[in-house]
Amino acid sequence: MDSIEIPKRIETINSFKAQGGKVAAVLPIHYSRALFRAFDILPVEVWGPPEVEASYGGVHLQAYVCSIVHNALSFLKKGGLEIADFILVPHACDSLQGLGSILLDFVKPTQTVAPLYLPRGKRTEDKQFLADEFRALARQLSNLTGKEPGDDKLLECIEREEQADLLLADLYRNRTGLGLDNLSFYRLIRSREYLPAEQFTELAQTALEKHSARNPNGIPILLSGIVPERMEVLKAIEELGGFVVADDFACCGRRLYPKGNERDPFLRMAERIINAPPDPTRGNSIDERAEFLINLAQTYGAKGVIFYELKFCEPELFDLPNLRNSLKQAGLNSVHIEVDIKDPLSNQVITRIGAFLEILE
């Protein structure tokens, strides 16, 4: 299958800073890329990372805190975030809120650290609350950069991000005809985590132009969870006879933000997140998630769902029994696999995936 050359994360960061911009390290999950870009700051997401000695963070964290938080704190303490000028910690869960408190009150990195609190509903009040959170964040970014972008500049950046997200959705819709294997596809999708919107737009357009009518081989499956780490799991799924046609990952499919309608830029940034696909970290119900997954599987012809979950991820694991039961009632088989991103991909995980795919044949 064809591959697409994707700029590396560190190359992207260095290039952006060489042009006079700043960089923000952003923890999972939801935030506004457009707000940072309006201040000439490139948001670069930190989903772990997996390749780090996690013991450095263990001094400050309980053993039952998820590996994303353990690894992120260890990465910071080892100097991995020194290149960043700002650190954002959205309140996606109690573990991330705890990390935010540690960085604000105990470890205290040299960079400015800001939390971002997300509402747990879709009411008008929730949208206004998130818009106010973005306004507060904008004041901190203004203090950092000395810049004060107006509404026109903010809307320009929002529209650029909306275009990139529309192309991201197009990649998903045309998944089976892109000629990309599982690993190549998700490397492309996940480059959205650090590439400027204009660069991602070019990559996505290149991939879509290569669209072909050929159908991939393999059992069509849907993935769900927080993040597909270690990424080798995607290659393993393909070698075992599976083809990932869609996902409900927090780092990917749950952030297919729709185009906004509000003319107030802060309300528009808020409505895009509030109207995104269902996510337990934003308070969406199990019924909403079940309906979404069932429709996703039907749309893309998935025969089953692999819940690829991080250990100790409470928002995910609390929902899982009832969620899987709802899928079963709808005739959709699923399997739950629990991993720690600091561990290598185990033979046990590979064996369980292989057994599940055999059931779907």
Taking each helix axis from N to C terminus, what angle separates 265-274 and 124-145, rounded to the nearest 10 degrees? 120
Please say whether the structural domain 9-149 has been given the CATH code 3.40.50.11890.
Answer: yes
pTM of the model: 0.95
Closest by Cα among 128, 135, 127, 129 to 154 = 135
Q: Using CA atoms, how far apart are residues 343 and 230, in angstroms rounded to an integer?
A: 8
The region, left, alpha or beta by phi > 0 then psi within -120 to 50, assigned to residue 210 is: alpha
Are the C-beta atoms of 275 and 246 separated by less than 8 Å?
A: no
CATH value of 211-360 in 3.40.50.11900, 2.60.120.10, 3.30.1050.10, 3.30.465.10:
3.40.50.11900
Q: Do the Cβ atoms of 310 and 338 come closer than 8 Å?
A: yes
Q: Which of 340, 337, 330 is nearest to 237 (CA)?
A: 337
Walk along the chain (361 residues) and give the pLDDT tens digit of each residue: 456 889 999 999 999 999 999 999 999 999 999 999 999 999 999 999 988 888 888 889 998 999 999 999 999 999 999 999 999 999 999 999 999 999 999 999 999 999 999 999 999 999 999 999 999 999 999 999 999 999 999 999 999 999 999 999 999 999 988 989 999 999 999 999 999 999 999 999 999 998 665 667 899 999 999 999 999 999 999 999 999 999 999 999 999 999 999 999 999 999 999 999 999 999 999 999 999 999 999 999 999 999 999 999 999 999 999 999 999 999 999 999 999 998 999 999 999 999 999 999 8
Name the residue ranges covered by the structural domains of the chain. Answer: 9-149, 211-360
Query: Are 9-149 and 211-360 in the same CATH fold?
Result: yes
Q: Where are the alpha helices (DSSP H) in 80-215?
A: 94-105, 124-145, 151-173, 182-190, 197-209
